[in-house]
Amino acid sequence: MAESPNQPITSLYVHVPFCAQKCLYCAFYSEASSGELVNRYVTALIRELELVAHDLKPATVFFGGGTPSILNLRQWEQILRSMEHLNLLGATEWTVECNPATVSLDKAKLLRSFGVNRISMGVQSLDEDLLDRLGRIHSRDTVFKSFDILRKAGFDNLNLDLMFAIPGQTLDIWRKTLAEALAMGSEHVSSYEVIYEEDTPLFAQLQAGEFDVDEDLACVMYEELVSQATRAGFHQYEIANFARDTDGATPPENRPSLACRHNVNYWRGSSFYGLGPSATSYVRGVRTKNWSNTQLYCEQLEKGRRAIESREELQPLARAGETAAFGLRMIAGWPFEQFRKTTGHDLRKDWQNEMEQLTHRGWGRLEPDRFRLTSEGLRFADAAAELFLR
Ligand SMILES: C[S@@+](CC[C@H](N)C(=O)[O-])C[C@H]1O[C@@H](n2cnc3c(N)ncnc32)[C@H](O)[C@@H]1O
Ligand code: SF4
């Protein structure tokens, strides 16, 4: 059900559209940074924060990108001070994404002192050749060094992003990267199979026949991920996400205590503000998207208005269908009661056929209190989820 207009929104995403260099596989909106544009972006972002602050009381904040850690100390300080001024500090969980090459102790300490309490670091691989292959700017050594810096700065909730099924990656290399990454002792691991995004150099190489995709190998790598992560004490709570559990997972979510709350919010269909170029907001049933153009974003905010490119108001059933589709990514699936409370719709009434179809295919499991995808269904979650869209 739509959140009440009297209750402020509790989730904030901020997109930082700059990277030192574009990785060969990446389709997130970002560009190689230039000093002046970054300063202009920071001023525009603060303006955008001012425009929405009256409707925000963040319980979770996520600065993603792009590469938020590329902002320098002065730029970070400007953003953090304005958030302080606008009463936007104090989130229970506040994540900032970092590229290992742009971590420094000064910056890490500054973030920590303003209440950032979770860092997500893009590691991707610990194999030097594969890091080169992906166009990453850091070495494996930098990953270990940056991890230590973050610990030294007081971060006790760290996520590592890994990728598998990278062209040229053998099962053996993947096993080794996984074992080394898990041994680092982070609290959270996210691991994605490479997606060949159009308009990326990696996609062009695939089209040109420079390598083949081996789906069977990708399946074995995913199984290896689940089994190694589980053995290392992580709990899988979403297709690609694993976290440690310090309090004991509680029903109905059965999710580990160090699961990323901000992302769980997305998958459970809650409202959030998304600021910065290309960011999407979903506020009380209305989805808006900012321009994916930093120049244009800045121009709009300099005129005192949000840089919104599109706006879509979803009908309640369509909204519930999307919520169903997102939530099925979670290992806990959708508890019927929770779904009803969130959307006002009953999965057993409006999606009975789809749930039976998936159960029949071996992709889904109907339980007395919930519907969830099986491990096979999770492999094809996008196709399964599509059935729920209205
Ligand atoms: C915004 S980046 C993380 C922070 C920082 N920009 C970095 O790369 O170090 C988000 C994550 O998405 C994943 N990712 C990006 N593009 C991907 C793709 N085409 N296929 C699979 N995973 C991808 C990577 O694991 C990456 O760490
Ligand atoms: S993966 Fe991260 S560092 Fe690489 S281009 Fe994408 S956002 Fe930038």
The residue to mutate among 24, 26, 163, having the most atoms of ligand 2 within 8 angstroms of its beta carbon, is: 26
- Does residue 121 have its Cβ closer than 6 Å to ligand 2? no
For residue 189, the ligand closest to its alpha carbon is: 1
**d(Cα 58, Cα 281) in Å, to the nearest integer?**
14
For residue 159, the ligand closest to its alpha carbon is: 1
- Residue 209 CB contacts under 8 Å (≥ 6 apart), including other chains: none
Would you state the pLDDT for residue 390? Answer: 84
- Does residue 182 have its Cβ closer than 6 Å to ligand 2? no
Determine which helix (DSSP H) or strand (DSSP E) holds 83, and give its type and residue range. helix 73-85
CB contact burial 304-329 (16+ within 10 A = b; e otherwise): eebbeeeeeebeeeebbbbbbbbbbb
**d(Cα 199, Cα 121) in Å, to the nearest integer?**
24
Q: What is the residue with the minimal CA distance to atom 16 of ligand 1?
A: 26
Span from the CA of 122 to the centroid of ligand 1 (angstroms): 6
Four-CA torsion 201, 32, 43, 157, nearest 10 degrees: 80
Q: Are strands 235-238 and 241-243 parallel, antiparallel or unpaired?
A: antiparallel
Would you state the pLDDT for residue 251? Answer: 60
The full DSSP string for 194-232 is ----TTSHHHHHHHTTSS---HHHHHHHHHHHHHHHHHT
For residue 67, the ligand closest to its alpha carbon is: 1
Q: What is the residue with the minimal CA distance to atom 27 of ligand 1?
A: 122
- Does residue 23 have its Cβ closer than 6 Å to ligand 2? yes
Would you state the pLDDT for residue 238? Answer: 96
Closest ligand 2 atom, residue 66 Cα: 7
- Does residue 142 have its Cβ closer than 6 Å to ligand 1? no
Would you state the pLDDT for residue 5? Answer: 75
For residue 28, the ligand closest to its alpha carbon is: 2
Rounded-to-5 percentages of helix, strand, coil across the chain: 45, 20, 35
- Does residue 321 have its Cβ closer than 6 Å to ligand 2? no
- Does residue 99 have its Cβ closer than 6 Å to ligand 1? yes
The residue to mutate among 28, 119, 159, 166, having the most atoms of ligand 2 within 8 angstroms of its beta carbon, is: 28
The residue to mutate among 14, 15, 18, 22, having the most atoms of ligand 2 within 8 angstroms of its beta carbon, is: 22
Burial degree of 100 (CB within 10 A; 0-12, 13-18, 19+) = buried
Burial degree of 168 (CB within 10 A; 0-12, 13-18, 19+) = exposed
- Does residue 197 have its Cβ closer than 6 Å to ligand 1? yes
Low-confidence ranges of the chain (pLDDT < 50): none
